[in-house]
Structure formats: structure tokens, C-alpha cells
Amino acid sequence: MTNQRIYKYIYPLIEDPKRIKMPRGSSILGVEEQFGNIVVYALIDKDEQTIIDYPIAVLGTGRRVPSDINDYAFLGTVKLFGGELMFHVFCKKTDKHPS
């Protein structure tokens, strides 16, 4: 039996490369704005001891798209500062995030 919970992870806008550390097997549910931050919500198993990096790509509208963007699944668009900034959020495809 798993000890599943929904957790939120604040996306670090100033770090590079962009990764979120979560328990192995986590399933990303979506992305939203909260208090001026990009927040990724995930279904996790609280008992899972192995923590792995989940690569995340956040792209501003009109910005160059990385050459490996097809390896990522689209999670959603987040607007910050009342819509002044629009970010499109992607996660590296895994068995939990097929195309």
C-alpha cells in the first residue's frame, strides 16, 4: 500500500539547469501560479526513499525553443504579474508523461 499525497513544488526561476527533486515515480498533475511563483503539483508516494531530478523547461512566449523540446510534455501555461509575463511549462517525458 502506498502513502500517496499531492505535494507542491515551487519552480526555481533563477536556477539553471532547471530540475525539481521529487520521489521516484511521482506523477506531475499540473502547474499554476501561486503568490507570484510557478508551482508544480505532483502526486507522490511519501514513503518512496529514492529522490530523483525531474527536468522542467519553462519557456517565455516568443523565446527560442530548445532543440530537444519534443522530448518534453506540455504541462500548461502560467501567467505572472497579472499577465505581464507568460510562461509555458514542460516536463521531460517519462512513463508517467507520455506525449
| Per-residue pLDDT tens digits for 49-83 | 999 998 998 998 888 888 999 999 999 999 998 88
Distance CA 79, CA 93 (A): 23
The mean pLDDT value for 83-99 works out to 77
pLDDT at residue 15, as a whole number = 58
Chain mean pLDDT for the chain: 87
**What pTM does this model have?**
0.84
Grid cell digits, residue 59: 519557456
Q: Pick the closest to residue 60 from 81, 34, 29 (CA basis).
A: 81
